Amino acid sequence: MKYIHQFLIIMLISFVGELLSFLPLPIPASVYGLLIMLVGLYTKMIPLSAIEDVADWLILIMPVLFVPSAVGLMNVKEELFENIAVIMIVLVISTVIVMVVTGKVAQYMIERKNINE
C-alpha cells in the first residue's frame, strides 16, 4: 500500500504539471511537474520519505522506458542518415558543453563546501 501511495503522489504532481501545460507558455508539462516536485521537496512540503522508494524504483527501470522511443527511431532511419553530419556535430558540441558546465558546477560546489567547513 505504501508504494501505491508514493506512486499516486508522483502521478498527482505529474497531473498538475499537465494542467499547467495549458498556460500560454512554451514549457512542457513534464518540466512543470519537475519544478513542482523540486519546490515541494525543497520546502519540505513533500517529505523525501513520501516518494523515495518508488522514485528509486522508477530510476532503476528508466532504461526500459526508453526502449519504445529507440524502436520508434527505426521508422525514421532514412531521415536520420540524411542528416547524420548535423546530428553528430550537435551531439559533440552539446556533450562538450554539458561536460564543461557539469565540471564548473562541481568545482563550485566543492569549493563552497570547503569554505563552509
First to last CA, the chain: 42
Spatial distance between the Cα atoms of 64 and 71, rounded to a whole number of angstroms? 12
Distance CA 35, CA 53 (A): 20
Look at residue 93 and give its three-state secondary structure.
Answer: helix
Element holding 71 (H helix, E strand): helix 67-73
pLDDT digits (tens, 9 = 90+) for 68-107: 888 888 888 888 889 999 999 999 999 999 999 999 999 9
Cα dist from 96 to 36, 85, 109, whole Å: 29, 17, 20
The DSSP secondary-structure symbol of 113 reads H
pTM of the complete model: 0.63
106: its cell numbers:
562541481
pLDDT tens readout for residues 21-65: 898 988 999 999 999 999 999 999 999 999 999 999 999 999 888
